Amino acid sequence: MDPERNAPHPEGSLSWRLSSHPITLLTFLGFRISSVLVYFLGLWIIKSMIMIFIITILLLAADFYYLKNIAGRRLVGLRWWNEVDPSTGDSKWVFESSEPGTKIINATDSRFFWLALYVQPLLWLLLAIFALVRLQFLWLPLVVIALVLTIMNTLAFSRCDKFSQASNMAGSAFYSGGLAGNIASNMVGRFFNRG
């Protein structure tokens, strides 16, 4: 019997078995890893640039959609989208987070999510440098597309997380302010009712 296998993992450790949504987590990680692997291994195994380009773009698009609409909401309770006002043409980012207390975020899901979110743009940046060093300028459009998609999701979820934390703090301050106001008005009311 393997003692490491039976030993309990601490909360938040990087073990997919501790995830609250293991299928969502594994699908999210699969999309994140597969686009980089297809590009990197495709350079050496598959000699068809068109095939690598198409498969990588499809995986990046699936990753972008899945992360933005499914994985972010299920794993960390965050979602974002962009709205355009038809009358003015102004673009506005909208951030959504789960209500405090309605969704408990699993520490393992959160660690996997944020780690994968920040690591993938770094990997694409390294692959861009690698393409430049090897003078493979034909691959740069693909790498730039990958960088734009991954950085956009990273920035949007970072803003969404900050917005969520600010909303939670404002909500708790508003709630505690209302509570303090109620206590103060009750005390003043009792003071004047005695006289």
Question: Residue 118 contacts by C-beta under 8 Å, 6 or more apart in sequence?
Answer: 154
Average pLDDT over residues 174-195: 44
Does 126 map to a domain?
yes
Cβ atoms of 127 and 136 within 8 Å: the answer is no
Residue 5 forms part of a structural domain: no
Degrees to nearest 5, angle at CA 166 with 164 and 169: 110
Query: What six digits make up the tokens of 24?
Result: 């969502």
- 31, two tokens: 């999309």
- The answer to whether the beta carbons of residues 19 and 40 sit under 8 Å apart is no
As a whole-number percent, the residues of the chain with pLDDT over 70 amount to 71
Assigned domain for 85 exists: yes
Write down the residue that tokens 């861009």 correspond to: 128
Distance (Å, whole) CA 78 – CA 177? 27
Query: How big is the CA angle at 63 (ends 58 and 69), to the nearest 5 degrees?
Result: 125
Domain count, the chain: 1
Nearest to 110 by CA among 60, 147, 69, 157: 157
**pLDDT (tens digit, 9 = 90+) per residue, 93-119?**
887 877 766 667 777 888 888 999 999
| Selected residue with higher pLDDT from 188 and 144 | 144
Q: Would you mind telling me the total number of residues written for the chain in this entry?
A: 195
Domain-embedded: residue 8: no
| Rounded Cα gap, residues 36 and 39, in angstroms | 5
How crowded is residue 153: how many other Cβ atoms within 10 Å of its Cβ?
20
In a domain, residue 47? The reply is yes
Is residue 123 in some structural domain?
A: yes
Q: Is the dihedral of CA 149, 66, 167, 172 positive or negative?
A: negative
Three-state secondary structure call for residue 43: coil
Structural domain contains residue 1: no
Nearest-CA neighbor of 30 among 116, 144, 158?
116
Query: What digits encode the pLDDT tens for the residues 161-171?
Result: 886 665 544 44
Residue 134 inside a domain? The answer is yes
Residue 188 structural domain: 16-194
What does the pLDDT average to over 141-157? 92
